[in-house]
Amino acid sequence: MVTIALPKGGLLKDSIYLLKCLGLDFSEFLENSNRQLQIWDAQRQAKALLVRNQDVPVYVEYGQAQLGIVGYDVLREKQPLVAHLVDLGYGQCRMSVAVQATSPYHSPRDLSAHCRVASKFVNCAREYFHTIDLPVDIIPLYGSVELGPITGMSEAIVDLVATGQTLKDNGLVEIEVLFHSTARLIGHPVSYRLNQGGLRDLVDLIRQKTTDSP
């Protein structure tokens, strides 16, 4: 039996649809009345765990799940020891540097050395500013990061952007895209290598379905 870690939030619906197309139905997770954190498909071929997006690679890395679906942004931030198997294509967004629209900054290189940058993606932010050789002070925030520049606590933010509407509504603009992110299928390296529970067959089906999708 294969255990799959599924992410709460924006990726869940598309992830469940993908697996349902392959005969694994975990639609119960989408019901408002559902409080279960693990369920089996009807034929008990697989089990799904419902976890936070950031926790998906943890469950996979430690072997409590053989497969997981998670945003590439989380993989870049956490660098877990997992097998990167398939780019699923949905959940498209981007990691960006943003500042107040009224600021004089038009590029991250315009920021002054040791300025403050707020982000929940601390490692991604630190890595990016290291690549452009600009020392900055990273302020970890895990709520509304947009408040950093608005309150004057930071000159810029590094955050995940989908439509950009939240930035616009709060008077912020993107000045650099660090990388683009989509949902990714990851696997426990040893389980995948040993093909436990026919894991490779399921991965091949997911890869084929993803390739066939328009």
Query: What's the confidence (pLDDT) of residue 196?
Result: 84
- Write down the pTM of the prediction: 0.93
Triad 97, 102, 105: Cα angle to 5° = 45
* Segment 54-81 mean pLDDT: 97
Distance from C-alpha of 45 to C-alpha of 39, rounded to nearest angstrom: 11
Model pLDDT for residues 75-123, shown as the tens digit of each residue:
999 999 999 999 999 999 999 999 999 999 999 999 999 999 999 999 9
Which of 31-45, 58-72, 182-196 is the least confident region? 31-45
Residue 21: pLDDT over 90:
yes
Q: Which two tokens stand for residue 166?
A: 């939240």
- Give the rounded percent of residues in the chain with a pLDDT score beyond 70: 99
- Give the rounded percent of residues in the chain with a pLDDT score beyond 90: 90
Model pLDDT for residues 122-171, shown as the tens digit of each residue:
999 999 999 999 999 999 999 899 999 999 999 999 999 999 999 999 99
Q: Which residues contact 95 (CB under 8 A, 6 or more apart)?
A: 73, 76, 121, 124, 158, 159, 160, 161, 177, 178, 179, 180, 181
Residue 32: pLDDT over 90:
no
pLDDT interval class at 214 (50, 70, 90): low
Model pLDDT for residues 169-197, shown as the tens digit of each residue:
999 999 999 999 999 999 999 999 998 88
| Amino acid sitting at position 199 | L
Report all structural domains of the chain as residue ranges with CATH numbers, in order of start: 2-91+182-212 (3.40.190.10), 93-180 (3.40.190.10)
Residue 213: pLDDT over 70:
no
Strands 38-40 and 156-161: unpaired
Query: What's the confidence (pLDDT) of residue 93?
Result: 97
